[in-house]
Structure 1
Amino acid sequence: MLQNACRIAGFILVIFSQNIQAQNLPAKRPKPNIVIIISDDHAFQAISAYGNKLVKTPNIDRIAQKGVRLDKAYVTNSICGPSRAVILTGKYSHKNGFKDNETSQFDHSQDNFAKHLQTGGYQTAWIGKIHLAGKPEGFNFFNLLPDQGSYYNPEFIGMDGKSIRKEGYVTNLIEDISEEWLDLRDSNKPFCLVVGHKATHRTWLPDTVDFGRYDSLTFPVPVNFYDQYKTRSAAAVQDMSIDKTMQMAYDLKMLSYSSKGEPTVNRMNPAQRAKFDAYYGAIEADLKSKNLTGKALAEWKFQRYMKDYYSTAESLDRNIGRMLDYLEKHELDQNTIVIYMSDQGFYLGEHGWFDKRFMYEESFRTPLLMQFPGVIKPGTNSSQMVMNLDIAPTLLDAAGLAIPSDMQGKSMLPFLANKAVKGREALYYHYYENGEHSVSPHFGVSTKDYKLIRFYKRVNSWELFDLNKDPSEESNVYGKKGYEKTTLALKQQLTKLIAEYDDKEAKVILRSEP
């Protein structure tokens, strides 16, 4: 009997220790504060911590230096509102109900990580872009941009539902409001602050202090800028090319190409507009003197896109630095989790594109950096496959709170604290929108070696990519000799993931296969 009692006690001790290890927090450690900074359309390849040699992002890099850079972070659905819904709920789009920006309406009464943090004693706030219409729940405070928001002199919607116009540049204003909230919070309670930036969303309009910041650089044209999409029928019908889709006035600020002016520019006050006219007016005059056509014009548009995009990102990085400085100044940095991520990736000329949506790497993959003093070793890199789906359970795990059984993500803390712990072996993706930019809905599975995609509605086709031989995903080898076993295995894996995540729409499409 004594022997059995010892075994039971030992079993209980193992379970207890595993629970503490899963939370990755010492039992007596105070609950960590949380700051999540979510940018919009900021590509991983645009960050110096991820290897960009031309452009520096020193403040985003600070997070990598003090924590971990995740090299295999992905999204479940590469589009703005749905991505934020996934981050908030820890559930795929078909479960949280927000599949696309065109037809979906987010139900704020559903469960989300902020509600659990509130119950666990946290003060919670979301400031800036959320892109989920309606009144957020689970937050003690919010001050939000309506819809996409504006770069200059934007409106913010407060707790009372009233819209107030604020003078200034949006990225600076979001940081100002964030710091004001931190100043006024109850310092006796832990906090969770979500900082939702508009940058670097289209139309990539920089702060006036950043006009011309990258004009001295000539950005290399991607090797597949003139991709012909020969084996990819869905890619061939898209409408998101720099050459044909990008607009001279709306996107590139060449205002004489529009008889009505541009809404974002029209919001500027006289001082802002004078700086805008002086900078872009000179560029427009030079363009007209050159009378460019064909490839020369396409590559001019690419260069302007890059200069505006990176100049817009400059204020984003600068204000991330302001937040990190605030935490250090107020001695909060040693017990605050800081996460930086984008809502998805973005094309910076790869395949000739801007925008996102496709399951191809530049859109599917997102930057994700995280510091958690005492838990995550500074200056580490992780090649574990993670998704934005995992943010919610990770935060609850870090706070020592139970993770709801219907959250579909997994905490990242076990493998971030212990390299011996393994994460995902495969990723499931489903994009639904069938309107803007003519991107066909699709779902698929991705492993470290292969990616299998099923397009439907606009285009009905399969695509298979051998990621080791073809990392830029230009050669669809679906149906090609030698890939039969791989295709079968991936379809089985895809079917398994669809069942695991209970994606009924995808299941019906697969059942209709011959």
Structure 2
Amino acid sequence: VGNSRNLPRWLLDQRNSWHGVDFPYHSELDIERYYKRYCEALCSVDDSVGTVLKQLEKMGIRDETLVIYMGDNGFMFGEHGLIDKRVAYETSIRVPMLMQCPDLFEGGKVVDQMVANIDIAPTIMEAMGLVKPPHMDGESFIDLARGMDVPWRDYFLYVYYWEKNFPQSPTVFSLRSDRFKYTTYYGLWDTDEFYDIQADPTEQKNMIRDPEMAKEAKAMEKRLYEMMADLGGMDIPMNAPAGGFNNKRLLQRDGDKAADFPGDFVVDEPINRDAN
């Protein structure tokens, strides 16, 4: 009954919003049909990439040309009751990417390490024989593509700042390792999230209150704040609105009611402060 799974309150509220499955883009959008159209668009992109590769072959430079084919973000089609992006769930932060350059590395390899968007520019620079400037974030992952054992990051930091135009999506700070993910939200009376993404890749079981995971969750929380402090990320920006305000709710979907608090936030009676 209620929010017994200890899900974030904002997540349940967002179902009936611009980025939710109950009121997607403030419309009667058929999400299944939307997904099929999305796939059809990707087929068109694939055809265009094929045209480029054929031209490189014709010019005799395909093997020496680094081709990177990637999206700009992940995307949700109903996972967690959401559509679109912005949040820290795997379907939002995992960006599809394929890379090819036979002169640099063999094909058919999958890189298991966490590669980020900040690594793209250093990778291109190395392929061009250039040295990455000291102030540039990220690292080239060409050696990873070659299957080499090289030092690499243990954590991936994800940050999203609240936008007035999309008020249903909170400010998000999330830290991901190969196994765990810890996510906290700024300015909300709500629960944090902690997942074992190896055992639970679709992030269905929030273990933030699991006593057996308390040590790991606390360590990830500590590391998250340390990284934010080191990177100068403790100052939260205030951004001016840009575009329209996508802040409607559908009344027939309980639009005037807020979601229940996480179950472990709710108590049956006042705490006796005189007990001690």
State the TM bucket, normalised to the shorter chain: 0.7 to 0.9
| AA partner of residue 367 (structure 1) | P
Task: Give the direction of change, closer, same or farther, for the CA distance of 1:458–1:324 in structure 2 (3 Å limit).
Answer: farther
Cα distance in 2 between the residues matched to 1:455 and 1:483: 20
Query: Matched residues in 1 for 2:9 and 2:27: separation?
Result: 27
**Number of residue pairs the alignment of both structures matches:** 230
Structure 2 gaps of 5+ residues are 237-276
Q: Does 1:488 align with 2:218?
A: yes
Among 154, 171, 175, the alignment partner of 1:425 is 154
User: Structure 1 residues 458 and 492 mapped into 2: Cα distance closer, same or farther (>3 Å)?
Assistant: closer
Provide structure 1 residue ranges, at least 5 long, that are not aligned to the other structure.
1-226, 253-300, 507-514
Does the CA contact (< 8 Å) of 1:229 and 1:236 recur in 2?
no
SS in 2 for 1:451: strand
Q: Take 2:120 and 2:230, find their aligned partners in 1: how far apart are those partners?
A: 19
State which of 219, 236, 256 in structure 1 corresponds to 2:12: 236
The answer to whether the Cα contact below 8 Å between 1:345 and 1:356 also exists between their aligned partners in 2 is yes
Contact 2:7/2:191, CA 8 A, preserved across alignment: no
Shift of 1:357: 0.6
Name the residue aligned to 1:350.
79
- Post-superposition shift, 1:417? 2.4
8 Å contact kept, 1:228–1:236: no
Q: Which residue of 1 aligns with 2:254?
A: none
Give the Å deviation of 1:501.
2.7
User: For the residues of structure 1 that align with 2:4 and 2:22, how far apart are their CA atoms?
Assistant: 13
Which of 193, 200, 214 is the matching residue for 1:463?
A: 193
Which residue of structure 2 aligns with residue 389 of structure 1?
A: 118
Look up the match of 1:322.
51
Matched AA of 1:312: A
TM-score (norm 2): 0.76
Match for 2:194: what amino acid? Answer: L
Question: Amino acid of the residue matched to residue 413 of structure 1?
Answer: I
Q: What percentage of aligned pairs have identical amino acids?
A: 32
Residues 234 and 459, structure 1, Cα contact 8 Å, conserved in 2? no
Comparing both structures, which one devotes a greater share of its residues to helix? 1
1:409 aligns with 2:142: no
- Tell me how far apart the structure 1 counterparts of residues 58 and 156 of structure 2 sit (CA, whole Å): 40
Counterparts of 1:247 and 1:307 in 2: how far apart (Å)? Answer: 20
CA distance in 2, matches of 1:376, 1:412: 11
The correspondence for 2:172, drawn from 435, 439, 442, is 442
Between the aligned partners of 1:233 and 1:248, the Cα distance in structure 2 is 23
Q: Higher Cα Rg: structure 1 or 2?
A: 1
Displacement of 1:336: 0.6
In 1, Cα distance between the equivalents of 2:230 and 2:41? 40
Report the Cα offset of residue 440 of structure 1.
0.5
Per-residue displacement from partner, 1:332-390 (whole Å, max 9, x unpaired)?
21211000111000012222322011110000110111112222111111111110011
Shift of 1:247: 4.8
Q: Deviations over 1:107-131 (max 9, x none)?
A: xxxxxxxxxxxxxxxxxxxxxxxxx
Aligned to 2:259: none
CA contact (8 A) 2:66 2:101 kept: yes
> Residues 29-428 of structure 1 correspond to what in structure 2 (within 5 A)?
230-238=6-14, 239=17, 240-248=19-27, 252=29, 301-428=30-157
TM superposition shift of 1:473: 1.2
Check conservation: 1:338, 1:371, Cα contact below 8 A: yes
How far the C-alpha of 1:491 sits from its partner, in A, is 2.0
User: What SS does structure 1 have at the residue aligned with 2:76?
Assistant: coil
Question: Is the 8 Å Cα contact of residues 337 and 371 (structure 1) preserved in structure 2?
Answer: yes
CA gap 1:480/1:310 in 2 versus in 1, 3 angstroms: same
**Closer, same or farther in 2 for the Cα pair 1:232/1:325, shift >3 Å?**
same
- Give per-residue Cα distances to partners, 1:295-333, cap 9 Å, x unaligned: xxxxxx232212222222221111111111111112121
- Structure 2 residue matching 1:336: 3-state secondary structure: coil
The answer to whether the 8 A contact 1:241-1:354 is kept is: yes
CA 1:454/1:361 → structure 2, altered by over 3 Å: closer, same or farther? same
Quote the offset at 1:495 in angstroms.
2.8
Instruction: Confirm or deny: 8 A CA contact 2:65 2:101 kept in the other structure.
Output: yes
Write the distance in 2 (CA, Å) between the matches of 1:398 and 1:499. Answer: 33
With over 3 angstroms needed to count, the CA separation of the structure-2 counterparts of 1:504 and 1:456, relative to structure 1, is: closer
Change (3 A) 1:389 1:459: farther
Partner of 1:181: none
User: 3-state SS of the aligned residue for 1:425?
Assistant: coil
Separation in structure 1 between the aligned mates of residue 188 and residue 225 of structure 2, nearest angstrom: 22
Tell me how far apart the structure 2 counterparts of residues 362 and 325 of structure 1 sit (CA, whole Å).
32
Check conservation: 1:234, 1:455, Cα contact below 8 A: no
Q: What letter corresponds to residue 232 of structure 1 in structure 2?
A: P
The code of the aligned residue for 1:475 comes to K
Aligned counterparts of 1:461 and 1:434: Cα–Cα separation in 2: 20
